[in-house]
Each structure stands twice: as C-alpha cells, then as structure tokens.
Amino acid sequence: MRLSKYHEAKGEMALLEWFLLLGFSAATILVHGQPGDTMTPTKSIADGQTLISSGGTFELGFFSLGVSKNRYLGIHYGAPDKTVVWVANRISPLSGATGVLNLTGDGNLVLLNSTGYIIWSTGTSNANNPVVQLLDSGNLVLNEGTSNNLLWQSFDHPGDTMLPGMKLERNLRTNVDSTYTSWKSSSDPSPGEYSCKIHINAVPEIFIWRGSVQKVGRIGPWNGRGFAGVPDTKPHNSFTYNLPSNEYEATYSFQILDNSILYRNLLTETGAFQGLVRVKPNLAWVAYSRFPKDQCDKYAICGANGVCTASYTLACDCLRGFSPKSPQNWRLGNNSDGCVRRTALNCSSDGFFELQQIKLPDTSNATLHSNKSLEECEDLCLKNCTCGAYAINGGIGCVTWTGNLVDIRLFTDGGENLYIRLASSELGQTRGNYRKKKLVISIIISSLAGFLLLVCGIQLLWKKNRKRKQGETLSTHYREGRGNELELPLFDIHTIRTATNNFSEDNKLGEGGFGPVYKGQLEDGEKIAVKRLSKGSVQGIHEFTNEMSLIAKLQHRNLVRLLGCCIEGEERLLVYEYLQNTSLDHFIFDRKRSAFLDWQKRLDIILGVARGLLYLHQDSRLKIIHRDLKASNILLDEELNPKISDFGTARIFKMDQIEENTNRVVGTYGYMSPEYAMGGIFSVKSDVFSFGVLVLEILSGKKNRMIDQAEACVNLLGHAWRLWMEGRCLEILDESVGCAYPESKILRCIQVAFLCVQEGSENRPTMTEVVLMLSTESALLPQPERPGFCIAPPLMERDLSSNNNLTVTIEGR
C-alpha cells in the first residue's frame, strides 16, 4: 500500500541531499581553487567545473540532458534541483566532456572544444579588464571591470525560460525584439517549433507562434495588472507582473516579492506557456498558471466573429447578429470559416449589444483611446461608421475594433465586457443586458442539451452492453484470481535494478505499508516510482496482487498510472509513473504551498478526484470501491492534476452488487463512513462519504482529525456543520483561497460536501450526481441532513488522533 507515503520522507530527504551537495560543492571549490561566481581572463572553466552565484541559487557549468550524451554549457538552479534555465550552445552541442570556457583578454567569452574550435562565443571585443559574473538572479553578465560597463548579458539572449528580471520586449526605436523559443525536446535544447513574442497592438499582447506564420495562442490582452485572457496571471502576493507600453515599446517582466519563492515562465516543447513556482528548498515545481488551459485558448478556434465556450466540451457559437459563413461546415464542426453579419450596419441607426465576461478579441486591428469613460467610448464608436465594437480594457482605456472580431472566449469568472455594434433590426425592442443574458443562457442551454444527449447516448449503450459485460467482468475476475493472463507489461529485474541504481538508499523515497518505494529513471528518460514488496509479507502479497490485478485494467487521467510489474524469484515489484508534486496533503495542509491553490485550482482538484472516483465506481470495466480515499492518497502531477492512488485495499464489486460486509475494516479514521467504521459495511456510498470529507479538507485547509477525544464531535465535519447551521459556512474557507472567489459556487461546493457526508448512506448522492451538481449551475441541490460525524471508532486502542493519517485494519469484530 501507500504509494503516497514515500512522499512524506521526501521533504527531509531533499533537505539532507541539499546540504550534502552544498558541502560537496564547497569541497570542489576548495580542491579546484575555483573562482566562485566570477571569472577573469586568467581563469577558464573546464567540464566538471562551475561558477556558483553568490546566494547559491544558480550555477553555470557543463551538463548533458536526458538520454542525450551531448554536452552543453549553461545555467541551472543550484543543487539539488538542477533545472536548466539557459543554454549557451543550444544549437551546437559538444560531443564529449572536453569543452572549456575561456575569456579572452579583450573580452570575448568563448566556448572551445578540445581541438580549440570555437563552438560558441559572445562576440564581444575591445574591452579592458573584462570580468564575467554569474548573478544570483541567474543572469550571466560580462562587464568591463574598470568601468562596470555592461558588454553582454545572458538575459538578452533568452531560450525557453523567463526568470524574474528578464524581459519579453519589443522596442521599435531600438529594434529590440526578444523572442523565447521552445526546446525541441527535453534532451535537445535546440530551437523547437514554438516561440513567443510580444506585439504592440492597441493593447500589448503576447502571441505564441508555431513556426513563423501560424498564431496558436494569444496571452492577453494586458489590462494593466495581468493578462485578462489568462485569469491565473492576476497578481499574487508573492509576485507581480509588469507590462509598461506605448506605441513604440512594450516590455513584459515579473518580480518576486517573497524571497522564499522561486518563479519562472517556461515555453514548453508543445507550445504551452507556464508560470512555475517552487517554494525553497522544496524540489517540486508547481504550474501556477498555464496557457492554453482548454480548447478555447487555441487561437481563433471558432473562426472570425465566433465565441468559444468550454464548459463541457468545445462549443462554438456565432456572436449575436452573426451567422455561420458556411453553415454546412459549421454543422459538421468545422468552424474555421467563422461567422458573418446577418444585417449590414446602417451607420446612423445602429445600437450595441453587450457580451459579458469574455476574453476581448485580438487587438491587432483595434485602436486604443486613452482616458475615455464607457460613455465616451460608446460615443466614439457610434460616430465612426467603421467601428464594429468597443470595450473598456481594465486600467488601459477604450478600445475600438474595425473588421472581424477574432479569438473571443467566454469565462465563467472574470473577463471583460464587449459592446458589439448591430443593426437596429438585430437588436429588437429591448436593449442591453437582457439580450446579452439571453445569448449566454442560450449558449448554456445548447451546451447542456448536448451534454445531456451525450450522457443519454452513453447510458443507452451502457445498458445494451451491460448483460454481456457482467459476464465478462466476472470471468476476467476469476481468471485473475488464479493469477495468470495479466495484460500488464512485465519489466525485467535488471531494468529495474539499473533504473533504481540497484535499489540504492539514495533512490529510496520512503517506506510504504508493504515495503519500500524507490524512485528511478528508465533508459528512455521516463521517471518511475517502484514499490517493492518486502520479503515474507503475507498481508503484503495479498495487497500486492490485489493492487496489480485491479489497476492494470484502469486507465483514467485522474488515476495514477501503473506502467508494469516485475515478478522474478522472490521479487515482487510494481512500477508506476513518477509524480513529482507529491500528494495533496502536502499542499492543502501546508501554509506556504497552499497559497498557490486559489479557489479555481481547488475546484479543479475536487472535480478531478470526483471524475476519477466516478470512473472507479461505474465508468470503468469494473465496479471498484477504493475504501481508503484521503488527501495523502491523491497524488498531484506537475500541473496539479489530481490522481487517485493506492489500490491496495480496493474491492471489486459485481456490477449489480450494492454493498458488502467485511470483518476486516481497512481505511483511515476521519474518512470512514459511520456504517463502515462501525458495521464493516462498505459500498460506493462509503467512498462518497470519504470524498465529502476530502472536499471539506480541500476548502478549509484543515484535517478532519478529532480535536478532542472526550468531546466526540469536534472534528472538522462537526465544526463545519455548526457554521453551516449558523449560516456562516464561508468562514471555514482557508485564508489562502483569498477573497476573489464566486461566493455562490463555494456555497454550492460546501453543500455538495455535506450531502456526501450525511449519516444515512442512502441519502448520499452517487458520484454521477456529485459530478453533475459540481459542474452545472442550474441543478437544484437538496438540503443536507446532519453529517455522520460522531464516529466513535469501535476498537480504538492506540492514540489515533496523533496519527490519524494512518490506514488501520481492524479484524474480527
């Protein structure tokens, strides 16, 4: 069990490793007499030697990437993280560890291979007393020592990573136009397909390009504080974004306000623009913001004058007053031709239709009028017959558009309002808001209808297949019971030994319930986590085979992926994908890290877990009860997508089976439903109960532990219920959720959680209902009854409150 347990040890290990490496680096400096953070013409840096910035944050040196044997010179974070942020010779790798970095007497920094051939250089010259220094910001600067005259800096030559203080800049006067380019792959830093640049439109916008002609994304528009099109880039109390601009120049950069935080922007190989955050000295990077988030962020996905909605699936609609240019293509789901006006404008008698909460269209052909009020802006647009729409863009001013409106999407929260000019016949008698609401509502209704149709269709198919499936499930189940015919890749023990460095202590991530867990890397570079069954563990063998046979058949983005297993001699190993962000409990219960979980992130996590659980309960080929759902069993990937793990205690039900009774109660106090903890009865509804507890924990940032053994009902559930009854339930929210959240949605979420933890299991909703209630605004919610929170554990001997995270087993009631 406990794939996730290994993460517990990880924090301390990282720290230890860090100190060890720090000590080691210090020793290297002494031995090699290295120059610290500076370099002068008398010194050179050979492969194996480094420059370390004064605070130890960054290091300049030679390295190889991934599976490649090529050597590169560049800058990476100090040990142990070593994430590379800049590469000097990204297009001309060295073939062996023989490179040397020299600074010539007149100030040229050159990288030579062993035959003295110049692989890369700064191309600077004619300097007196040149000095190279690696600053703690990660900037490598070349100065004229005497005058401190800056000759060259790595910040002016970006790759795929943007660090605090670095700029994304366009200046038409000086012709500076900085471009970030993605890597080809994680082991090849040469320029890949994607690049991002800033454009000086009416409002500055950052575009992501694929090649040099195809716009694939638009991070914008800038509204004076952040990018309105990317709600995640709103300012945070740990960092701020800046983008001063005028008609000649625009410069995007960001600053860190909190020293314990590291932040970088990354343009990935697949063209995504991520803001990554790390709390020192923790190893895991968290994607704090990311673009694109969904299909609607793909540039102009709905064509000109189309609007994209991403509630369930991609949905394109035409703006009001517009209709598809090629209706047949549009019906077939090809929206590239976009929409055209139904009624031509008549200059003198037009009106405006207000479309709320959207990402404003591409401002390439728009005009900015500073210092104008909404009324003045409308006036301006009305007076000019070519003006087709206007908007007030945050703190920047009035923007007017001519021609097509391209790349509009709807947001559920935030966004700006756009006023679209329409012929009076398109506006009808009533004006303004009412009509806009109708549009939004009709969009919602049409996407809802689509969704329901889909659900019905699936259900029909499901019913049709059900009979056949049942037999199938059972027979597969039996076959597995005999332990053969597993459709699971088998790893050979040598591969695992190589990947984990022969199960070395350094690779050990922690100790799980049935044995240690190791981190490893396969030859192709893929990172894995290996669970190794301790020899002679009978209990373990049971859980091992259970977990293996179960999870091998499951595939869902919210379940941890089993890559294979290894059974050789005495060895029993399970090989999983490695998730670097550890488990959910390390985020929600940690003050620093929870600051990166705003309301939207928390909701995404809740929905992810709900979908994973729904899959287990009914959408997979089996019906599975997890029985030990809790925060430490939810792993998080780089983008904080949740993945349910640990199937050691899960049970397969027959499709029509409702519940089962066991005299081996396994699970975790605090998460167990009353009927399970006390009666050993488990069903999908006991998982629903655990889910409800988890939701409250995610929202409150508090554990559902018993605060006081004597006073039985003061766990989180009891506390939250009291606040709910008193109408103060927003008070349970974690402080770091901030205050910019939609109150009604949070209330809805809390209410769903209470419905899940009701005492009577028959009153609790199924996961299907939970997912629907969480993702639609319109579903009416019943009033929850009192939760089953006073669970007196039946056979509690040890002090469970001090260690309530532990999965316990109680046998023979």
Ligand X SMILES: *[C@@H]1O[C@H](CO)[C@@H](O)[C@H](O)[C@H]1NC(C)=O
* Closer by beta carbon to ligand X, 392 or else 774: 392
Which one of 49, 57, 89, 102 is in contact with ligand X (CB under 6 A)? 102
- Using the minimum distance from each CB to ligand X, give the nearer residue, 304 or 665: 304
Pick 339 or 810: Cβ nearer ligand X: 339
The residue among 30 and 332 lying less far from ligand X, judged by its C-beta, is 332
**Shortest distance in whole angstroms from residue 113 CB to ligand X:** 4
Cβ closer to ligand X: 95 or 270?
Answer: 95
CA gap 409, 406 in Å, rounded = 10
Mask of contacts with ligand X, 140-169, x by CB under 6 A? ------------------------------
Binding mask 717-736 for ligand X (x = CB under 6 A): --------------------
The alpha carbon of residue 590 and the mean position of all alpha carbons in its chain are separated, in whole angstroms, by: 18
Q: Which residues partner with 323 through β-bridges?
A: 340
Residues 298-327 that bind ligand X (CB under 6 A): 326
DSSP single-letter state for residue 164: T
Give least dist CB 430 to ligand X, A. 18
In whole angstroms, what is the distance from residue 571 CA to residue 626 CA?
A: 26
For residue 686, report the phi and psi dihedrals to the nearest 5 degrees.
-75, -35
H helix and E strand count, the chain: 15, 47
Instruction: Provide the mask over 385-424, with x wherever binding to ligand X is found by CB under 6 A and - wherever it is not.
Output: -xx------------x-xxx-x------------------
User: 10 Å Cβ neighbour count for 812?
Assistant: 6
Residue number with CB closer to ligand X (425 or 803): 425
Q: How far apart are CA 364 and CA 354, in angstroms?
A: 21
Contact characters 347-386, ligand X, x per CB under 6 A: -xx------------x-xx-x--xx------------x-x
Nearest CB to ligand X, comparing residues 259 and 349: 349
**CA pair distance 312, 458, nearest whole angstrom:** 15
In 3D space, the residue among 253, 304, 246, 297 whose CA is nearest the CA of residue 275 turns out to be 253
Q: Encode 136-173: b = buried (16+ Cβ within 10 Å), e = exposed.
A: ebbbbbbbbbeeeeebbbbbeebbbbbbbebbbbbbee
Count of residues interacting with ligand X (CB under 6 A): 32
Least spacing, CB of residue 583 vs ligand X, in Å: 41
Of the pair 370, 744, the CB lying nearest ligand X is at 370
Minimum gap (Å) between residue 386 Cβ and ligand X = 5
3-state SS string over 255-277? EECCCCEEEEEEECCCCCEEEEE
Cβ at position 387, least distance to ligand X in Å:
6
Binding residues for ligand X restricted to 34-63, rule: CB under 6 A: 44
SS3 697: helix
Task: Please say which residue, 122 or 805, places its beta carbon nearer to ligand X.
Answer: 122
Strands 387-393 and 322-324: unpaired
Q: What are phi and psi of 603, to 5 degrees?
A: -65, -40
Q: Which residues are catalytic?
A: 628
Residue appearing with tokens 């069990």? 1
Q: Percentages helix, strand, coil for the chain, rounded to the nearest 5? A: 30, 30, 40
Reading the block at residue 269, the tokens are 């190989």
CB of 374 to ligand X, least distance (A): 15
CB of 465 to ligand X, least distance (A): 31
Query: CB 356 → ligand X: shortest distance, Å?
Result: 22
Confirm if 728 and 793 have CB atoms less than 8 A apart: no
Task: In whole angstroms, give the CA distance from residue 406 to residue 392.
Answer: 17
Q: Residue 385 CB, nearest distance to ligand X (Å)?
A: 7
Contact at 8 Å (CB) between 436 and 356? yes
Q: Can residue 95 be called a binding residue for ligand X (CB under 6 A)?
A: yes
How far is the C-alpha of 536 from the C-alpha of 407, rounded, in Å? Answer: 61
Q: Applying CB under 6 A, does 594 fall inside the site for ligand X?
A: no
Cis peptide before 80 (omega within 30 of 0): yes
* Residues in 329-348 at the binding interface with ligand X, rule: CB under 6 A: 329, 334, 336-337, 346, 348
Identify the burial level of 93 via C-beta atoms within 10 angstroms of its C-beta, where 0-12 means exposed, 13-18 middle and 19 or more buried. buried
Q: Which two tokens stand for residue 694?
A: 């988890």
The residue among 186 and 343 lying less far from ligand X, judged by its C-beta, is: 343
Does the protein bind ligand X through residue 246 (CB under 6 A)?
Answer: no
CA distance 82 to 319: 48
**562 CB-side CA count, 13 A:** 27
The stretch among 83-91, 111-119, 221-229, 236-244 that binds ligand X (CB under 6 A) is: 111-119
The span from the CA of 470 to the CA of 487, in Å, is 19
3-state SS, one letter per residue, for 396-462? CEEEEEECCCECEEECCCCCEEEEEEECHHHHCCCCCHHHHHHHHHHHHHHHHHHHHHHHHHHHHHH
Least CB distance to ligand X at residue 343 (A): 10
**From the CB of residue 13, how many other CB atoms can be counted at a distance below 10 Å?**
19
Q: Angle between the 743-756 and 599-614 helix axes, to the nearest 10 degrees? A: 30
Q: Which of residues 114, 128, 465, 470 is near ligand X by CB under 6 A?
A: 114
SS3 707: coil
Q: Which is nearer to ligand X, 367 or 521 (CB)?
A: 367
Question: Residue from 34, 64, 83, 113 that binds ligand X (CB under 6 A)?
Answer: 113
Rounded to a whole number of angstroms, the minimum distance from the CB of residue 349 to ligand X is 4
The residues binding ligand X (CB under 6 A) are 44, 95, 100, 102, 112-117, 326, 329, 334, 336-337, 346, 348-349, 362, 364-365, 367, 370-371, 384, 386-387, 400, 402-404, 406
